Structure 1
Amino acid sequence: MNQNLNKIPRNVWILGFGSLLTDISSEMIHSLLPLFLVSVLGASVFTVGIIEGIAEATASILKVFSGTLSDYLGHRKQLVILGYGLSTVVKPLFALTTSPTGVLIARFGDRFGKGIRVAPRNALVADSTKPENRGAAYGLRQSLDTIGAFVGPIIAFALMAASGQNFRLVFWLALIPGILAVIVLAAGLRETRVNTNSQNRISWGWHFNSLSREYWILVVVALVFNLGNSSNAFLLLRASQKGIAAPLVPLTVVVMNVAYSLSAYPVGRLSDRLGRFKLLVSGFVLYALVYLGFAFAQAPWHIWGLFALYGLYLGMTQGVLLALISDKVPSQLRGTAFGFLNLVVGLALLPANLLAGWLWQFGGSGVTFIAGSLFAILATVLLVVYRSRY
C-alpha cells in the first residue's frame, strides 16, 4: 500500500489536502443548511430544492468555461486557487443571512467558486499522473476530499451541541479551514510540463469535434443518471423524517463520507488493474438499490445503513468516472472535456432538484427516491448497451 502511495505525485497530494480542508469548511455549513432553511428561516422543502438546483447548476455551467480557459492558457493552478478562494470569501454570508434569498446568494457564490476550480483541478490530476496509476490518483484525491467531508459534520455536530444549536456560530467558524486550504494550495501546487509546453497549447474554442465517441457516450449516460440524482439535502431531510434527531442528522453525512473515503482509493487502484467499466456499472446499480431503500425505509437504523451504502456508491463511481474520461480525451483538451461533462451534469441537476422537491411536496418523499432509482436504472442500461465502445 505504502509503495503504491509513494507513486502518487506531489500535486495530487496537495490538491487532496486542499480539498480536505475546503470540505471541512463546506460541510460544516452544508450538513446543517437544509435544517437551517426549514427550521430557522421557515423555508419549504420545495424552496430547498430550488436553492440547491440553482446553486449546483451555476457551478456546472461555469466548469465548461474554466476548463476550456485552462486548456487555452496552458495553466491550471491560478484558476484552481481562484475558485477555492472565492468559495472561502463568501462563507460569512451564510452566518449573516436572515432569509432564504440570502442563502441562495451565498450558495450561488460558493458554487461559483466551485465552478471555476473543478475542471482545471481534475485536468491537473490527469496531467500529473501516468495512465497506469491514474485511477489510484483520482481515488486518493477523492479519499482525502471525503475525509474533510466527514470531519466537517463531526465538527458541526460538536459545535451545535456545545453552543445550544447556534447555527450562525458554526457558519462563522467554517471560515477557518477554508482560509487554510487556500494557503496550502497557493504554497504547494505546481504547474505541470504538459501545460507549460507551448506545443500543447490550443487556440481558444470548444474543439468538441476532437473528443471521441466514447467520451460523448459517457456524457449522455451522466446526463440521464443525474436527472434522478437530486441534492443530498433530500437525504438529510429523509433522515429527519424517519426519526433521526436534528443534532444527529449531520452524523449521517459522516457515515456516508467514511464509507466513501475508505472505498475511493482501493476502488481506484482496482480500476487501474481490472478496468473501469464494470466498477462504474456496479456503482450505478448500487445507487438504484440505495434510492429504493430510502423510499421504503421504516426505521432510523435503515437510514444509517443506507447512508453507508450511498458512500460506497460514491467510492465506486466518482474517481472511476474521472479516470475513464481522462483515458478517452487528449491531454490538451482535458479541461474542456471535464468542463463540458460538468456542464451537462449541472443542467441535469436543476430539473432533478426541482422534480425531487415537487414530488416530495405533492407525491410524498418515497416517490422522490423511486424516481431517482428509475433514472439510475435507465443510465445503467445505456452504459451496458454501449459496453463494446469501452
Structure 2
Amino acid sequence: MPDPAGTAAPDTSLKNVKALGIVSLLTDASSEAIYPILPLFLSSVLGTPVAVIGIIESIAEATASLMKVFSGWLSDRVGRRRPLILLGYGLSNLMKPILAIAGSWPAVLALRFADRFGKGIRTAPRDALIADSAAPEVRGKAFGLHRALDTLGAAIGPLIAWATLSLVHGEAGFRTVFLISAIPGTAAIVVLALAVRERRPHAPATGTRPPLGFRHLGMPFGVFTAISAVFALGNSSDAMLILRAKDLGAATALVPLMYFIFNLVGSAIAAPAGNLSDRIGRRRVLTIGFALYGVVYAGFALASHTWAPWLLFAAYGVPYALTEGMARAFVVDLVGPECRATAIGSYTFVLGLAALPSSAVAGILWDTVGHSAPFTLSAVLMLVAAFALGLAGRFLKPLDACLAR
C-alpha cells in the first residue's frame, strides 16, 4: 500500500505545491494582519523609539535565518521535510495571538523571536519540498505559484487589519487584530496536517547526506550568496517603509491598505515571474528585480508628498515578486538535489547575518541623520548587487551534485 507521506517522483501537476501555497496563504493572512500595524503599535501604544523597533526587527529576522541553516541541514540529513514544516508553522501560529496581552517592547521582542524561530524551522524544508514536488522544467512555475498564493494571503492580512481598526479604535483595535490572527493561523495548521504530503525523489543514502557547512555547496552557490548578502544589507525591514509612509502623512488606519496594494501587486506578478524565469533564466529575472528594488527605495528616499507612499508600495510589489521565490529556486538550481534544504537554509542564514545590522542601521540613520537616509543607503547597495549579478553569469553554472567534504 502506498505511503501517504511517501517518495513519489516530482510531477507537473503541482498538487503538493498548491497545498503548501494554501498553507502559506492562510499563515500570511494571519501574519500580515499584524505586521503592518506592529511598528505603529510599538511606537504609538508602547512608546518604543524607532531605533529599538529596528533592532527588534533585526533580531527577529536574524533568528529566523539562523534557524534555517540548521533546519535545512537536518531535513536533508534525516530525509524528511514535513515534520519540521508542521513544527515551524505550529509554533509561529501559536505565538502571534499572544501579542494581544503584550504590555512592553521586550514582550513583543520575545514573541517576535518565537514567531521567527518557527519560521526558521519551516522555511528551508518547505522550499525544498516545493523543489522535490516539481519537475525541473516547471520549477520556476512551482516557486512562482507558491509565492503568488503566499502573497495573496499577505494581501488579505492588511485588509483584516484595516477593517478591524476602522471598527475598533485606539489600543483596543491593535489588540483585537492580534486575537483575530489566530483564525487563519489555525486553519493553516489543519490544511498542512491533512493535505501536504512528503515527496523525496532524491532521498540519499546515509553516507552521502551532506555535512553542516558551506564548502560542499560549491562556488556557484557561494558567488550568488555573496551577491545576495550585499543586497540584503540594503533590504531593511518593511517596518521602515511603514514608518516612512506614516512620516509622509499617511493615516494609521490607511497604512494596512498600502500594504494590501503592495501584496496584491506581488501576488499578481509572482506566478508570471516564475514562468518567465523558466524561459529566460532566473539570473536575468533576479538582476532586474534587484535593480527595481533600488529604484523603489530611491523613491522612498526622495518622496515628499502624502500620495507618494501609495505609488511606491504598489511599485514595491514588482521587485518583490521577481526576487522572493526566484532566489530560492535559483539556489536549488545551483546545487545537487541531495543538499537542497541545506543550501536554502545556508543561503537564508547568510542573508540573516546581513539583516542583523541592516534594520538596526536603518533605524539609527532615521533617528540621527534623517528620515530619507536609510533608503538612500539601501538603494545604493541594491543597485550594486544588481550590477554584480548581471556580470557574474560565468561563475553561476549549476552543479549536478554536492561536493564531497
Calculate the TM-score normalised by the size of structure 1.
0.96
Q: Deviations over 1:20-48 (max 9, x none)?
A: 00001111111110000000000010010
Matches within 5 A, 1:24-173: 24-165=29-170, 166-173=173-180
The answer on 1:264 being equivalent to 2:274 is: no
* Residue of structure 2 aligned with 1:333, choices 331, 339, 351: 339
The answer on 1:20 being equivalent to 2:25 is: yes
Counterpart CA distance in 2 for 1:270 and 1:381 is 20
Matches within 5 A, 1:198-213: 199=205, 202-203=208-209, 205-206=211-212, 208-213=214-219
Query: Structure 1: where are the runs of 5+ without partners?
Result: 1-5
Indicate the RMSD between aligned Cα atoms, in angstroms: 1.4
The answer on 1:251 being equivalent to 2:281 is: no
Question: Could you say which residue in structure 1 is the equivalent of 2:319?
Answer: 313
For 1:186, give the aligned amino acid. A
Asked if the contact 2:143/2:329 (under 8 Å) is kept, the reply is: yes
Matches within 5 A, 1:228-247: 228-247=234-253
Q: Offset of 1:164 from its aligned partner?
A: 2.0
Counterpart CA distance in 1 for 2:342 and 2:318 is 28
Q: Offset of 1:198 from its aligned partner?
A: 5.2
Q: Offset of 1:275 from its aligned partner?
A: 1.2
Matches within 5 A, 1:349-364: 349-364=355-370
Counterpart CA distance in 2 for 1:170 and 1:380 is 38
When residues 40 and 61 of structure 1 are mapped into structure 2, their CA distance, relative to the original with a 3 A threshold, is same
Aligned partner of residue 227 in structure 1, secondary structure: helix
Counterpart CA distance in 1 for 2:211 and 2:288 is 36
When residues 200 and 324 of structure 1 are mapped into structure 2, their CA distance, relative to the original with a 3 A threshold, is farther
Q: Deviations over 1:299-350 (max 9, x none)?
A: 1222111111111001111122111111111111001100000100111111
Q: Offset of 1:282 from its aligned partner?
A: 0.8
Q: Offset of 1:10 from its aligned partner?
A: 1.3
Q: Deviations over 1:203-222 (max 9, x none)?
A: 46225333121111111011
The answer on 1:342 being equivalent to 2:348 is: yes
Q: Deviations over 1:178-217 (max 9, x none)?
A: 111011001111111325x453774462253331211111
Asked if the contact 1:71/1:201 (under 8 Å) is kept, the reply is: no
Calculate the TM-score normalised by the size of structure 2.
0.92
* Residue of structure 2 aligned with 1:389, choices 391, 395, 404: 395
For 1:23, give the aligned amino acid. D
For 2:138, give the aligned amino acid. N
When residues 35 and 162 of structure 1 are mapped into structure 2, their CA distance, relative to the original with a 3 A threshold, is same
* Residue of structure 2 aligned with 1:286, choices 282, 292, 314: 292
Asked if the contact 2:79/2:200 (under 8 Å) is kept, the reply is: no
Question: Could you say which residue in structure 1 is the equivalent of 2:301?
Answer: 295
Q: What is the identity percentage for the equivalent residue pairs of Structure 1 and Structure 2?
A: 46
Counterpart CA distance in 2 for 1:42 and 1:301 is 27
Counterpart CA distance in 1 for 2:257 and 2:61 is 23
Counterpart CA distance in 2 for 1:201 and 1:250 is 50
Count how many residue pairs are aligned between Structure 1 and Structure 2.
384
Question: Could you say which residue in structure 2 is the equivalent of 1:3?
Answer: none
For 2:186, give the aligned amino acid. I
Question: Could you say which residue in structure 1 is the equivalent of 2:227?
Answer: 221
For 1:191, give the aligned amino acid. E
Asked if the contact 1:93/1:103 (under 8 Å) is kept, the reply is: no
Question: Could you say which residue in structure 2 is the equivalent of 1:182?
Answer: 189
Counterpart CA distance in 2 for 1:185 and 1:319 is 20
Counterpart CA distance in 2 for 1:357 and 1:389 is 35
